[in-house]
């Protein structure tokens, strides 16, 4: 009787061990997509007006269940910020400017920037992104030629699934 109990107990413990190994946590796969735009668009012609880049569109190979973990961003203008103005730059999710995060500091010195944000944590990695920009000034006026053209924009959307 004791031998049967031991064999049964060993069999139960072996099944529990198999179940525990099978229930060990699985690690999510990670990947990313990257796009860049070398362009003079948008060119900012006026102060206190919001401008936007073309969309950075996710590739069709992005898994449907992929969630954003972070976004690496970079932007650059051709010239220094015009005197008496402050450049503001936002990275935005989707086709509107409703979900944006600032990706620069208020300083007339900076006409480029790069960094990383988790502001869109857990957004679908199948979200399109764009930049919105404005030259803020105390009054609204048209900038003198050559205006204020863009130079480069990029996003790298890091995700897990």
Mean pLDDT, residues 22-37 taken together: 80
Neighbours of 92 (CB within 10 A): 21
**Preceding amide of 42 cis, omega within 30:** yes
Q: In this predicted model, what pLDDT tens digit does every residue of 91-139 receive, in sequence order?
A: 999 999 999 999 998 776 789 999 999 999 999 999 999 999 999 999 9
Domain topology for 26-160: Jelly Rolls (2.60.120)
pLDDT given for residue 46 in this prediction: 97
**With the C-alpha atoms ordered 84, 47, 146, 103, is the resulting torsion angle positive or negative?**
positive
pLDDT band at 23 (very low <50, low <70, confident <90, very high): very low
Which 3-state string (H, E, C) describes 20-52? HHHCCCCCCCEEEEEEEEECCCCEECECCCCEE
Question: The whole model's pTM is what?
Answer: 0.81
Long-range contacts from 142-146, C-beta under 8 angstroms, 24+ separation: 142/45, 142/46, 143/44, 143/45, 143/46, 143/47, 143/82, 146/79
């Amino acid at each position: 009787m004791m031998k049967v109990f031991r064999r049964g107990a060993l069999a139960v413990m072996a099944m529990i061990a198999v179940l525990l190994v099978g229930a060990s946590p699985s690690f999510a796969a990670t990947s990313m997509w990257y796009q860049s735009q070398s362009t003079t668009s948008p060119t900012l012609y006026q102060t206190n007006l919001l401008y936007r880049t073309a969309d950075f569109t996710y590739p069709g190979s992005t898994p449907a269940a992929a969630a954003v973990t972070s976004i690496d961003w970079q932007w650059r203008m051709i010239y220094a910020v015009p005197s008496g103005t402050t450049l503001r730059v936002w990275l935005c999710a989707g086709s509107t400017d409703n979900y944006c995060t600032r990706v620069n500091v208020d300083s007339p010195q900076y006409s480029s920037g790069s960094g990383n944000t988790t502001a869109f944590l857990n957004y679908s990695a199948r979200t399109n992104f764009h930049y919105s920009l404005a030259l803020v000034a105390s009054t609204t006026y048209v900038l003198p030629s050559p205006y204020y053209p863009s130079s480069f924009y990029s996003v790298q959307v890091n995700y897990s699934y």
